[in-house]
């Protein structure tokens, strides 16, 4: 630990804050240069607050003996994330630079996928045996504390085979009389997670139970490590980012916006745009069928964008709300009929509002007769009823699509706003021209 007097501390805070401020604008060389100019204490503090990819960038340029120092100040789980940033050849070189025990721990962590519980856990945790007396346990913990344990708040009780039996808090050990046995004060109703659990499920576990830490066990119940809430904060951000990108019809970028290279960026975005473009081509086909109607009443064409975009917008709203509610576990598959009922009601209500606005717009427009012809009232009615139909259909299809996708075991977030909008565009045109041919028959058509 670093101890500083007040003036040193002030200066250090100033240096690191200044550097953090301009960090993003510095070149790799300048970053290394400024970093090396920091005092050791400030540099340590600064290094720990860098993102993993920034740490990696610095380490690559450092001489080996320096690099070893920086690797060693990280806990095993962060170290595993860091080493994963490097090329495979370099990874082994780095593992070799660690103390044998730490190297073994990190190598074990690297075997897990990054988004599994095992890939998030810290293999170091405080452990005691069930048949220890409280006084003995305290002395034993004090000894363990020397080995740089990240966490002493959660103490786990393991048997000789490393199977997890229970947990006890330091507070409970503090409170208990010295002769009491650990097994008599430990809690056994623990929330635990398997090492292969997906980080999304693990996140739900943290959120629903409001926990600070979850012990991770293998298939036979042997404890492998702990995941703490601070690691989950990053997971939640990451999962939200992925959902948001999918909802906008972008493949998950997997890198910050400014870092990803332009070719990958185009790939990630063009995929869905091409699919949507092909889907949207059906609008041209659909309108081909109504070309005759458009020729006789060109005025109908004027309202096409207004009508289909209203359907698209209400559909995007509905799908986004449902997809997010599913991700939070607020809406489950069997709730589909409840959602359907709500969306029919909401769709009709909003359709009625927009429909009346559309009708009014046409009826009170000063040049309505020159612009829309003598049948402007019937055109107004056509637009208004189509709006009700399209908004209703948008809300219903937008909200039901995520259920259909999940039912087929696909990601509901695939029901992105652009996807729903495209779907509703094609059907919206059909609704509009069908309405028109009913209402305007004999008048304009």
Residues in 310-329 at the binding interface with its own copies, rule: CB under 8 A? 310, 312-314, 316-317, 320-322, 324-325, 328
Q: Applying CB under 8 A, which of residues 43, 132, 331, 431 lies at the interface with its own copies?
A: 331
- Which residues within the stretch 4-33 sit at the binding site for its own copies (CB under 8 A)? 4, 9, 12-13, 24
Q: Is 344 in the site for its own copies (CB under 8 A)?
A: no
Q: Applying CB under 8 A, which of residues 240, 333, 410, 443 lies at the interface with its own copies?
A: 240
Q: Is 56 in the site for its own copies (CB under 8 A)?
A: no
- Toward its own copies, which CB reaches closer, 90 or 138? 138
Q: Applying CB under 8 A, which of residues 76, 118, 119, 249 lies at the interface with its own copies?
A: 249
89: tokens are 């050849």
- Toward its own copies, which CB reaches closer, 160 or 171? 171
374: tokens are 């003598």
The distance of closest approach from Cβ of residue 411 to its own copies in the complex, given in angstroms and rounded to an integer, is: 15
CA 301 to chain centre: 41
The distance of closest approach from Cβ of residue 93 to its own copies in the complex, given in angstroms and rounded to an integer, is: 26
Q: Is 174 in the site for its own copies (CB under 8 A)?
A: yes
Q: Is 111 in the site for its own copies (CB under 8 A)?
A: no
The distance of closest approach from Cβ of residue 196 to its own copies in the complex, given in angstroms and rounded to an integer, is: 21
Q: How far apart are CA 429 and CA 387, in angstroms?
A: 11
Size of the site for its own copies (CB under 8 A): 128
The distance of closest approach from Cβ of residue 372 to its own copies in the complex, given in angstroms and rounded to an integer, is: 9
Q: Is 141 in the site for its own copies (CB under 8 A)?
A: yes
As to burial, measured by CB atoms within 10 angstroms (0-12 exposed, 13-18 middle, 19+ buried), residue 206 is buried
Residue keyed to tokens 């607050």:
49
Buried b / exposed e along 212-226 (16+ C-beta atoms within 10 A): ebbbbbeeeeebbbb
- Toward its own copies, which CB reaches closer, 93 or 288? 288
Q: Tell me which stretch binds its own copies (CB under 8 A): 100-108, 109-117, 217-225, 337-345.
A: 337-345
């Amino acid at each position: 630990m670093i101890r500083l007097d007040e003036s040193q501390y002030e200066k250090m805070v100033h240096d690191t804050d200044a550097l953090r401020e301009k960090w993003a604008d510095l070149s790799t060389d300048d970053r290394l240069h400024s970093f090396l100019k920091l005092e050791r204490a400030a540099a340590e503090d600064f290094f720990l607050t860098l993102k993993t990819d920034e740490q990696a960038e610095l380490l690559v340029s450092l001489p080996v003996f320096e690099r070893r120092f920086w690797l060693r100040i990280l806990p095993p789980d962060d170290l595993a994330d860091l080493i994963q940033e490097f090329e495979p050849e370099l990874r082994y070189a780095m593992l070799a630079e660690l103390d044998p025990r730490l190297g073994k721990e990190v190598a074990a962590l690297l075997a897990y996928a990054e988004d599994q519980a095992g890939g998030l856990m810290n293999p170091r945790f405080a452990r005691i045996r069930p048949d220890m007396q409280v006084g003995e346990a305290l002395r034993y913990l004090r000894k363990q504390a020397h080995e740089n344990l990240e966490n002493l708040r959660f103490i786990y009780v393991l048997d000789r085979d490393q199977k997890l039996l229970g947990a006890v808090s330091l507070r409970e050990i503090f409170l208990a009389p010295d002769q009491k046995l650990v097994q008599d004060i430990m809690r056994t109703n623990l929330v635990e997670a398997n090492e292969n659990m997906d980080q999304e499920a693990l996140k739900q576990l943290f959120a629903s139970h409001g926990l600070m830490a979850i012990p991770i066990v293998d298939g036979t119940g042997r404890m492998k490590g702990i995941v703490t809430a601070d690691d989950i904060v990053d997971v939640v951000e990451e999962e939200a980012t992925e959902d948001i990108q999918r909802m906008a019809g972008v493949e998950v970028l997997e890198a910050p916006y400014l870092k990803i290279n332009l070719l990958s960026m185009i790939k990630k975005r063009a995929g869905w745009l091409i699919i949507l473009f092909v889907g949207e081509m059906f609008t041209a086909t659909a309108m081909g069928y109504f070309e005759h109607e458009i020729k006789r009443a060109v005025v109908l064409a004027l309202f096409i964008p207004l009508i289909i975009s209203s359907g698209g917008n209400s559909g995007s709203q509905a799908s986004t709300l449902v997809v997010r509610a599913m991700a939070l576990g607020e809406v489950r598959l069997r709730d589909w009929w409840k959602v359907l009922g709500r969306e029919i009601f909401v769709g009709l209500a909003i359709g009625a509002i927009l429909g009346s606005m559309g009708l009014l717009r046409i009826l009170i427009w000063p040049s309505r007769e020159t612009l829309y012809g003598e049948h402007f009232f019937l055109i107004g009615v056509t637009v208004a009823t189509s709006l009700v139909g399209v908004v209703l259909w948008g809300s219903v299809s937008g909200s039901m699509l995520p259920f259909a996708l999940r039912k087929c075991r696909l990601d509901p977030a695939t029901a992105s706003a652009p996807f729903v909008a495209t779907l509703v565009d094609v059907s919206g045109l059909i609704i509009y021209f069908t309405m028109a041919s009913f209402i305007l028959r004999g008048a304009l058509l």
